[in-house]
Amino acid sequence: MGNSSTDAEERKEMDIKSFSSSQHNQTPYIHKVGVPPKQDIFKEFKTTVKETFFADDPLRSFKDQPRSRKLVLGLQAIFPILDWGRSYNFRKFRGDLIAGLTIASLCIPQDIGYSKLANLAPQYGLYSSFVPPLIYAFMGSSRDIAIGPVAVVSLLLGTLLRNEIDPTTNPTEYLRLAFTATFFAGITQATLGILRLGFLIDFLSHAAVVGFMGGAAITIALQQLKGFLGIKKFSTKTDIISVMKSVFHSVDHGWNWQTILVGSTFLTFLLFAKYIGKKNKRLFWVPAIAPLISVVLSTFFVYITHADKKGVAIVGHIDTGINPSSVKKMYFTGDYLIKGIRTGIVAGMIALTEAVAIGRTFASMKDYQLDGNKEMVALGAMNIVGSMTSCYVATGSFSRSAVNYMAGCQTAVSNIVMSVVVFLTLEFITPLFKYTPNAILAAIIISAVIGLIDYEAAILIWKIDKFDFVACIGAFFGVVFASVEIGLLIAVTISFAKILLQVTRPRTATLGRIPRTNVYRNIQQYPEATKVPGVLIVRVDSAIYFSNSNYIKERILRWLMDEEEQLKAASLPKIQFLIVEMSPVIDIDTSGIHALEELHRSLQKRNVQLVLSNPGRVVIDKLHASNFPSQIGEDKIFLTVADAVLTCSFKLPEEV
């Protein structure tokens, strides 16, 4: 082992000597870095704006088309159903019919339960699965998303609204504020889509969303203990400590054993149905219809045994009929307007994040393109219309979308089928839900939200990126131990902190030559790479802006000082050239150029020459505009690191 290590060091030393010797014995041909021709400032601005907001070139299909065709294409862009509807056939309808009926059987009991999370009467959950899916079917571009209320958004909306108005003492004003928040949630979503600002939702990182969803799932499950255990007096707070105190303080006088029996029996049934669906993908319909079966059986059981007279809480009366108008019930003036806007923006953004993530997932599985901005406009339009027809915030549901996908849905017509079933339920069947026990709704919600706890994703995040894991776990604990709003705030804060850290503290690396090549790579990644005598090569892996320019300058000087200390300790010649590899530097601003000028002056005091390698088009253009090349010398800018090393080696004394 010792001999092999010595041999490797000798080969490395010989490689350095042979390289240095070869550099002095051949005349180099050096490529010059091209300076781009001056661009028209308005044309460049137009290109930048286009790439920022219209990267997908949405108007490409309109090019060179007659006016009548442009009108048709415009209508198809707003209503995609006019495009795919032309090729719709009976085979596709059969798949959509089966899928629509399947997700309807899942959504009806879920909607009744989720409306309780939002502190609303049960019919409002059903309303939100009637109108919004119809609007989305005409305007949405996803074939697989199933639209309706979801647990996380229902809890978030209910928590935020309850902070403003008590739903128990003032239900009318609370309902008005819910419709107002839904309206502004839709406005937020549609505005983001119309202004092509969809990239803003990407600031909430995947890790933060995983943590937030997991924490929200536990919070939602804990909230269901009220209905599951039959507790009448329950904490209005959502943190785990307050909820568990409320649960254990009610042990002696608040728990109802009949309610617990009903809830635990059907929760076991629902979890078993879910297990069957996971074990055999062909039996996906088992967990899909299990909630409806549970509702039917538990309602029948309560009715024939009169369990409601023995303390088993039931849903009670549900209004019959389709959505009444709520246009006049919204706040457009007064103190509650600002509160409605604030709540709507938060709920709308979370709903948007969930829907777009679901849409992209299933679009990639079926290999078709999903236009994120069109999705936002569609989701916004359906919530705006929904707010005017007694609905609260609806979005894409992951559990229903998964069932929709596995049931063989072909197009958004499955949402229309689901909506028709909900319509029939509202018109004729709602009185039958009067004796449905709250415990079964709690069991349905608990079984549904368990899937939101993605511990496998959290483990993977830990393995890949520790900072991402901090965001994940921070959001999780924020929701569980504080509140949904605090968890969301922590998720956003940590996501932004990561962005700021990466911008202000970019990575830098020292490069060495891979043996027997002219390739220069990070020495930490390639330990066999050799340093060039008398030359230090540093790579900057980021754009150089005002936010990081000072750090980059100081970091490069630290690399130089560390290298000089090592050379001095080994009695080797000092560094005479510092090469900055600028291939990854995609842009530079005035602060960045000032930092390079300061670096150049600092190096001059140390008798070290600054050399640049491969600056890009934008960077070299700005450097020439600032007259920086003339400061360091036009001959100090090279196309490649190899060219720079070759030239510098000729200028080094023979002893180096």
Angle at 256 between CA 255 and CA 261, to 5 degrees: 120
**% the chain with pLDDT above 70:** 94
Residues 534 and 575: beta-carbon distance below 8 Å:
yes
pLDDT of residue 642: 93
State both tokens at 439.
Answer: 């415990």
Question: What is the pTM (predicted TM-score) of this model?
Answer: 0.84
The gap from C-alpha 144 to its chain's centroid, in whole angstroms, comes to 19
Backbone angles phi, psi at 121, to 5 degrees: -65, 150
Residues 219 and 199: beta-carbon distance below 8 Å:
no
Report residues of the chain scoring pLDDT below 70. Answer: 1-30, 55-56, 653-656
The span from the CA of 390 to the CA of 463, in Å, is 46
pLDDT of residue 200: 75
Amino acid at 412: A
Task: Please state whether 313 falls in left (phi above 0), alpha (psi between -120 and 50) or beta.
Answer: beta
Residue 512 forms beta bridges with which residues? 521
State both tokens at 565.
Answer: 């200390």
The span from the CA of 575 to the CA of 534, in Å, is 4
Amino acid at 381: A
State both tokens at 420.
Answer: 């028709």
Residues 170 and 178: beta-carbon distance below 8 Å:
no
Q: Is beta strand 577-581 parallel, antiparallel or unpaired with respect to 609-613?
A: parallel
pLDDT of residue 268: 96
Residue 580 forms beta bridges with which residues? 538, 612
Q: Where are the alpha helices (DSSP H) in 306-437?
A: 335-366, 372-387, 398-406, 413-424
The span from the CA of 130 to the CA of 639, in Å, is 63
Q: Which residue has the tokens 């009926």?
A: 101
State both tokens at 257.
Answer: 């054993």
Closest-CA residue to 442 (of 614, 570, 603, 295): 295
Closest-CA residue to 156 (of 390, 375, 379, 348): 348
What is the CATH class of 506-650?
Answer: alpha beta
Task: Please state whether 581 falls in left (phi above 0), alpha (psi between -120 and 50) or beta.
Answer: beta
Residues 114 and 445: beta-carbon distance below 8 Å:
yes
The span from the CA of 51 to the CA of 49, in Å, is 6
Q: Which residue has the tokens 């600031």?
A: 203
State both tokens at 431.
Answer: 């009185």
pLDDT of residue 656: 47
pLDDT of residue 204: 78
Backbone angles phi, psi at 532, to 5 degrees: -90, 125
Largest CA distance in the chain: 103
The span from the CA of 510 to the CA of 508, in Å, is 7
The span from the CA of 542 to the CA of 540, in Å, is 6
pLDDT of residue 152: 93
CB atoms within 10 A of CB 314: 20
Angle at 109 between CA 102 and CA 483, to 5 degrees: 120
Closest-CA residue to 316 (of 331, 302, 297, 334): 302
Residues 451 and 221: beta-carbon distance below 8 Å:
no
The span from the CA of 541 to the CA of 527, in Å, is 19
pLDDT of residue 451: 86
Task: Please state whether 501 falls in left (phi above 0), alpha (psi between -120 and 50) or beta.
Answer: alpha
The span from the CA of 59 to the CA of 51, in Å, is 13
pLDDT of residue 7: 54
The span from the CA of 313 to the CA of 310, in Å, is 9
Q: How many helical (H) and strand (E) elements, i.e. helices and strands, does the chain have?
A: 27, 8
Residues 436 and 321: beta-carbon distance below 8 Å:
no
State both tokens at 564.
Answer: 């000089």
The span from the CA of 541 to the CA of 529, in Å, is 19
The span from the CA of 154 to the CA of 145, in Å, is 18
The span from the CA of 370 to the CA of 8, in Å, is 54
Q: Where are the alpha helices (DSSP H) in 482-548?
A: 484-504
Closest-CA residue to 203 (of 342, 58, 352): 352
State both tokens at 241.
Answer: 């400590």
CB atoms within 10 A of CB 477: 16
List pLDDT tens digits, range 530-587.
999 999 999 999 999 999 999 999 999 999 999 999 999 988 889 999 999 999 999 9
Contacts of 564 by beta carbon, 8 Å cutoff, 6+ apart: 574, 575
Angle at 160 between CA 171 and CA 215, to 5 degrees: 125
Coil vs helix vs strand at 534: coil
Question: Distances from the Cα of 592 to the Cαs of 384, 581, 628, in angstroms?
Answer: 46, 15, 11
Over 439-458, what HEC string results?
HHHHHHHHHHHHHHCCHHHH
pLDDT of residue 123: 96
Contacts of 513 by beta carbon, 8 Å cutoff, 6+ apart: 19, 519, 520, 529, 530, 531, 532, 645
The span from the CA of 63 to the CA of 58, in Å, is 10
Q: Domain ranges in the chain?
A: 89-497, 506-650
List pLDDT tens digits, range 48-75.
777 777 766 777 777 878 888 888 888 9
Residues 323 and 390: beta-carbon distance below 8 Å:
yes
Angle at 436 between CA 104 and CA 255, to 5 degrees: 130
Question: Distances from the Cα of 259 to the Cαs of 317, 397, 437, in angstroms?
Answer: 19, 28, 8
